[in-house]
Amino acid sequence: MSPTTDPERPAPEPSGTPSTGRRDLSAERPAGRDRALSRRRVLSGTAAALAGAGVALTGEFGYAEATADSKLPVYGGYAATVHADRRTPPRSSRVDVVWSVDTTRRLIALTFDDGPAPNWTPRVLSILAQTDTPATFFMVGRRAREYGRLVTHRLDGHEIGNHTWAHQDLAKMTYEQACTAISRAHNELTRLCGREPTLLRPPYGHLAGSTLLAANDLGYQVVLWNRQMLESRFTQNPDGLVDYVVDSCDPGTILLAHDTGPADRLVAIRGLAAMITGLRRRGFEFVTVSELMAAATPATAPAH
C-alpha cells in the first residue's frame, strides 16, 4: 500500500510533547460586524507587512527590538508583556488563557492539534462523523495550505483554531515574529474554512509575553488543555488508554489529542470511538471549545 493511502503510516513532521499548567484569565472580546471587518484588515495587513521584514511594526507600535545585551529585558525580548514606549494601546485590556472551564454541566471539549495530514485527519473526521461528535481542530497553516483538500466540506459542526503557520515555538519569538506566525495561519485558515478562527493554541503549549501581546492585538484567546491522551504510556495497552481518558475527565475538561505525529499516537486514534462511548456513558456531552467557554459558570465575588 502506498504511503498516501496507508492509514497506519504516521504523517511527516512530528511535533513535540506539550507542557501543561493551570491558570485562568478572563478577556473582553471585540464584537460586531465593523470590528470583525477591522480585524480582517489588521490581520491581512500584519501578515503582509511582517513577512520578510521582521520588524515592520516597530515604528508603528513603538516596540523596542530585543537585543542580546539589553539592559532592560523587561521592555524587550520574548518575556516582556509590557512596553513602556508603546504609543498605541493594546487591542483589549485583557486576554484569556484557558486550560479548562469551570462549569456545572457535564461538558467536554475534544481537541486535535497539528493537522491536517494525510491518513490521520480523514480517519479522525470519519470517527467523529460516525459518532456525531463535534471537536475543535487547531490547524497548522502550512499544512492547511498543502492538505486542505482533506478537510474540504467535512468541517461542519467542528471548530477551527490557529496553531501557527509552521508549528514553531512562540515562546522563542519576538512580538513581530509571533504576529507573522499567527497572521499567516489565520489568513490561510480563513480562506480554507470560510470563517475566521478566534482561538490560538501555541505549539507545545509554550508561550511568552510576546505571545500574549500578539494574541491580544490580533483578537485571539489562548487555549491550552488540562487533559491529554498520553499515548506513549499506553502503546502496549490500548484498553488502558481508553480507561484512563474515560475515568480522568471532569466537567469542563479540554482534552488534547493529535491528528498527526509519531506512530505511538495511533493508539489514541484506534481507541477514539471507545473513548467517546465511555464518556457519554458517564453523562458527558461533547462540545467545541467556544461552546464550552460559553457554558462557564459565572464567577461570584468573594464575600467581604
Tell me which of 83, 167, 186, 258 is the catalytic residue: 258
**CA-CA distance, 53 to 74, in Å (whole number)?**
24
Q: Which residues contact 165 (CB under 8 A, 6 or more apart)?
A: 140, 141, 142, 180, 181, 182, 184, 185, 188
Catalytic site includes residue 113: yes
| DSSP structural state of residue 220 | -
Among 156, 111, 107, CA closest to 291: 107
Tell me which of 113, 114, 217, 259 is the catalytic residue: 113
The answer to whether 93 and 29 have CB atoms below 8 angstroms apart is no
The answer to whether 189 and 4 have CB atoms below 8 angstroms apart is no
Is cis: bond before 202, omega within 30 of 0? no
What are residue 292's DSSP bridge partners?
none
Q: Which residues contact 61 (CB under 8 A, 6 or more apart)?
A: 86, 87, 88
Among 274, 222, 233, 258, CA closest to 98: 222
Handedness of CA 264, 193, 161, 129 (dihedral sign): negative
**Which positions are annotated as active-site residues?**
113, 258
